[in-house]
Chains A and B, each alone.
Chain A
Amino acid sequence: MSADGKFGDYGGQYVPEALMPAIEELTDAYERYVLDNEDGFMDDFRARLRDFGGRPTPLQRADRLSERYDREVYLKREDLLHGGAHKLNNALGQVLLAKYMGKERIIAETGAGQHGTATAMACAHLDMPCEIYMGERDINRQRPNVFRMKLNGSEVNPVTVGRGTLKEAISETMRDWATNVEDTHYVIGSVVGPHPFPSMVRDFQSVISEEARTQAREKLGRLPDAVVACAGGGSNTMGAFAEFVDDEETALYAVEAGGSTLEVDEEAGVAPNSASLTTGSEGILHGARTRLLQDRDGQIMESHSVSSGLDYAGVGPELAYLVDTGRVTAVNVDDDEALTAFHRLSQMEGIIPALESAHAFGYLESVVGPDAPDSAEADALGEYVVVNVSGRGDKDLESAIEETYERDIDIAPNMDEFTGGL
């Protein structure tokens, strides 16, 4: 990364002028507290991640998956972090930073609700008032998380414009920030947005790969051959990859949501997937230049994924850069494969994963599963694979059961008696 927050040509600060002073103030705070540990900020942060968050999370051998895939499969259990997803790493870091900066109010957007709940928890823990913007459609898909945010004392503001998902929620939170910039910090939920957010969120999330790297050395005696993580905006991805980027022997796979198809409907402005690394093109959205799902004019398309946490038309600029340079391989898994993987992990390992995380397992099945063709991809995955379980699936139970009912997922249990009325 260069001093102006660029990753190659990606990144930058494409925001309304009213936000620029706040972004400069945040950049200064990021450099002092996060990079230079001023006032012991990072020590405070790490202690809270341990005591409040429950870190470190285990690196667990997945015995039955290892057998199925004929290689050592290890799970980085971010689903065991307080709140049930990796999101707390970032939310706690940013809310604490806002506190050190003397800010008095927190706002955040949320898609699946995981970042919203993590921010709400961090705000209750650190005694900060908090408002969360969430698309109306996502509110309906993720009701348990809405309840959790409210129980932790946060306001949840429905966003009704557009399709009512993450993209609209981010735009609306930026508008709030532009209005209340002097006393408010915007806790952005992924490695997206203007500099310093992509770098700062990566740094807060990089505890995942820092631990995984040490744990892999302890358990395997060496670094893994591959790390696999799902990618929407890319915060768990960058967190799982960051400390491995310089380890050239470790391949990095970012698994995007292939949705229902990779085909794009230009006329309707709809991309029935969220695979911006695979199918997107360069553009500017939400403060950064990155890869986007956009039509030929540059209008942002509506994305789709069965997993609302991956349902976003953009992706973090650093991840886009690492894919362009070849360091990270972008792959994708469609809705059906992800749902199948959701059931498989639940049945074989006793872990109900978030639908987001299920995409990472869908990739394993597609390249090294019993029905996978022999391929160079399978060889590249190597003998030791770490998969980041970015979150647990409790929030997804209703939608996963409904979506399963609407499709033909042969390994799924018969739960017809519960569908339709949910």
Chain B
Amino acid sequence: MSLEDAFADGPAFIPYLAAGDPDYESSLKYVEALERGGADIIELGLPFSEPIAEGPTIQNAVVRSLEGGMTPTRFFEFVEDLDVSVPLVCMTYYNLIYRYGDDPGPRPFVEKAAEVGIEGFVVPDLPAEEAGPLREACDEFGLDLVFIVAPTTRGERLDRMMEQVSGYVYVQARLGTTGAQSSVSDQTGSSLERLADYDVPKAVGFGISSGDHAERIVASGADGIIVGSALVDIVAEGTSAARQTASDDVADGHENGDDAETVADRLETLARELKEGAVAGASQRPPHPERT
């Protein structure tokens, strides 16, 4: 299924987790729980040592994942080991894409990603101006390249980005870095208005943390919602709880099966709430005349 197809039957719910957070085996279970909870697309983070677009929640996830031994090579194995059928998008920083393989440049990474079944990329430090080589490689291997539209993106820059985007656009709901918020930004509506004339699905992210948020975002016109930090928070809580238990019991390691199952259940529960919120939001929207 292509990324765009995932938007065909109502609003798409797109959760994010960092692959390998806090360890390889638990992380496989967590990602699979997202699909059970109703994910239509899953964004999988490949951790980079300098995540400049991330807030503290995902910075910490990156640290846990890197400490757990995640590398680009392990990431591709992780994708192959995952038992999910929804499309996967790789979210990472450009240096990891650029450095993979024998020769600098994005092609070897994209080729490998296509081989393991990844459908597209989100690269937060790669604006449209620098994206030519990656766009070319994505075209060659039939992958999508998702761009982030910020509240500050307008005019010519927006046009340039829309010429290169495929799959969906990631509408950044507010300025700043990633992170769960207690309320929904009011910048979303105007961003969606600027994008109304472009025929590509619009998924809104940055700060969504509850079914209620999801409902309002979709009701205001989004075709999908992207949720990262609120889910990563559950992984973080589970990890520190497991570490606490492990040190109390003098047990070894934190990859305790029961803990991972419990965390996976919590992820599935929040995923379901978010997906149901999105669906409820869609029912409140006026019908789209240009979309059938």
Contact = CB atoms under 8 A, between A and B. Distances in A.
Interface in B113-135: 124-127, 129-130
B26 interface: no
B172 interface: yes
B152 interface: yes
B172 A18 contact: yes
Interface size class of A (residues with CB under 8 A): 35 or more
A13 B149 CA distance: 16
A284 B149 contact: no
The 10 nearest A-B residue pairs measured at CB: A298-B99, A179-B176, A18-B150, A21-B152, A284-B95, A299-B49, A16-B53, A298-B95, A17-B150, A300-B49
Contact of B48 (A21, A24, A299): A299
A292 B104 CA distance: 13
A252 interface: no
Interface string A1-27: 000100000001111111011101000
A178 B148 contact: no
A4 B129 contact: yes
Contacts of B94: 14, 284
A18 B51 CA distance: 15
Interface string A272-308: 0000000000111111000010101111100000000
B153 interface: yes
Contacts of B258: none
Interface of B: 48-55, 59, 63, 66, 71-73, 93-96, 98-100, 104, 124-127, 129-130, 147-154, 157, 161, 172, 175-177
Contact of B125 (A15, A182, A298): A15
A161 interface: yes
B99 A297 contact: yes
A14 B48 contact: no
A178 B177 contact: yes
Interface string A135-168: 0000000000000000000000000011000010
B95 A294 contact: yes
Interface centre among A4, A14, A161, A294 (most CB of B within 10 A): A14
Contacts of B151: 18
A174 interface: yes
A171 interface: yes
Chain A interface mostly helix, strand, loop or mixed? Answer: mixed
B66 A299 contact: yes
Contacts of A174: 52
Contacts of B126: 14
Nearest to A4: B129
A298 B98 contact: yes
Nearest to B55: A175
A18 B175 contact: yes
Given A18-B152, A284-B94, 9 more contacts: A13-B130, A14-B127, A20-B127, A175-B55, A178-B176, A182-B175, A296-B99, A298-B99, A299-B66
A17 B148 contact: yes
A181 B96 contact: no
Given A16-B52, A17-B153, A284 B176 contact: no
A60 interface: no
A180 B175 CA distance: 7
A292 B49 CA distance: 13
A299 B69 CA distance: 12
Contacts of B72: 297-298
A199 B267 CA distance: 47
Given A178-B53, A179-B176, A297-B72, A21 B66 contact: no
Nearest to A292: B95
A14 B175 contact: no
Nearest to B150: A18
Interface in A1-60: 4, 12-18, 20-22, 24
Contact of A171 (B50, B130, B161): B50
Given A15-B125, A17-B147, A20-B153, A298 B96 contact: yes
Interface centre among B59, B63, B93, B176 (most CB of A within 10 A): B176
A17 B51 CA distance: 14
Contact of B52 (A13, A181, A282, A286): A286
A284 B125 contact: yes
A17 B205 CA distance: 14
A324 B7 CA distance: 48
B188 to A, nearest CB: 14
B135 to A, nearest CB: 15
A21 B153 contact: yes
Interface string A231-273: 0000000000000000000000000000000000000010000
Nearest to B177: A175
A171 to B, nearest CB: 5
Contacts of B147: 17
